[in-house]
Amino acid sequence: MSNELKSLKNPKSSDTYKQKEKSDISLSEPNIPEKKKYINLYICELSVGIIFTYIFISCSITINIVNRVIFWKYKFKFNFTLVLLQQFFCMIFYYICSKKSELFIEQTGGVSFEDFWKLKYQYIGYCIFFIVKTVTSFLGYQLVTNIPMYVNLRKFLTAMTFIYQYFCKKKKISNINILVVILLTLGALLTGIDDYSTDIKGYLAVFMKNMLNLVNLEVSENFKKKNGMTNLKLLVYNSFLSTPLLLIYIFINGEFFRLIDYFNEEHDFNYLYLLFFLFISCSIVMVTNASFFISNEKNTSLFTQLVSDTKYIIITLISYNVLQSFVFTWKNIFGLLLSTLAAIIITINSLYNNIKFNKGKHNNTNENSGDNPKENTKFEEVNIEE
């Protein structure tokens, strides 16, 4: 009885108040670094973040080449229709996963209308932003016909991300990452120094894509911290929202009727090949979007951008050997070497900080074996570093 009276006189001493105070503190400190999770690959273990980063790179390379084939070989320049097809595939895939996959349900925390309604304005705003960003990306593909030049312009996103995070957000960035940014920027300038033309519309489209991607990097990195919901859930609701919006829009702007005329015209290619590439593009985009958001959530936007710049070197080499749209000179060779050096440095650094060999892990586990296994596993995880 006396203890109850004390708690009433001094509410801060009650257990309920202490629990609430702890929860308030945890909510007010969203920047507490998460613990890395590792996936066992038999020989070694890689962090979940770095695995999804390289999945994103692989998918991004493939979808870059596939979309180029769709736009240029098959003259399929129906931007909103392609976004609609991609988002429709995503909607079906995410719906099936939300019902069948326990891992998906665990990562999203479940999908429901009530859950969506809590952050309806954020989801609707991101949906409109996503459509504009994707269409701008397609315009960049179509207007800048020189693939290496397009790739070169896209590399400046890394410098833009660095400037934003270092000067605007005052983030601490490691010396290795600063060196990589400098090498990539110099490499981009040298690679395209003999190829800059007066294609203002194309350059503006790619620059706008870089700006929108910078915003997307920021959103994907901080959405969970600010709203308490995972990026994967953002993707799910985005696909459900954007599909009907795009379907309505292609009727309003007349793209649907132009699409019918396109298929009624005679072309010198088999439509089955076009449908095949459209299917590949729509299938890959599901994994590309998910891996991009998970990578940014587990790492940082600058880290994802630095590591993913390795894809541009591969795309440049493919365009030279397969598409033959690149003429080598000593300047762009030197620029490509600088970019390659930067890619090697960031790749080695990223793997070094995100790999654990099983032998070392087992030894560490044996040394720290005790009564509480949860505490032992806690010491095996390390904080995410840039």
Q: What local confidence, expressed as pLDDT, does residue 119 receive?
A: 85
What is the mean pLDDT of the segment spanning 341-370?
Answer: 64
Check whether 367 has a pLDDT greater than 60.
Answer: no
Q: How far apart are alpha carbons 115 and 249 in whole angstroms?
A: 26
Q: What local confidence, expressed as pLDDT, does residue 32 receive?
A: 45
What is the mean pLDDT of the segment spanning 298-309?
Answer: 74
Percent of the chain with pLDDT over 70: 73
Q: What local confidence, expressed as pLDDT, does residue 131 receive?
A: 92
* Single-letter code of the amino acid located at 380: E
What is the mean pLDDT of the segment spanning 274-287?
Answer: 93
Q: How far apart are alpha carbons 167 and 49 in whole angstroms?
A: 25
What is the mean pLDDT of the segment spanning 84-94?
Answer: 92
Lowest mean pLDDT among 230-239, 299-308, 315-324, 366-375: 366-375
Q: How far is CA 83 from the centre of its chain?
A: 17
| Average pLDDT along the chain | 75
The vertex-104 CA angle with 102 and 108, nearest 5°, equals 120
Distances from the Cα of 276 to the Cαs of 77, 242, 282, in angstroms?
Answer: 16, 23, 10
Q: What would the pLDDT profile of 225-261 be if each residue is shown by its tens digit?
A: 777 777 788 888 999 999 999 999 999 999 999 999 9
Check whether 68 has a pLDDT greater than 80.
Answer: yes
Check whether 107 has a pLDDT greater than 60.
Answer: yes
Q: How confident is the model at residue 369 (pLDDT cuts 50, 70, 90)?
A: very low
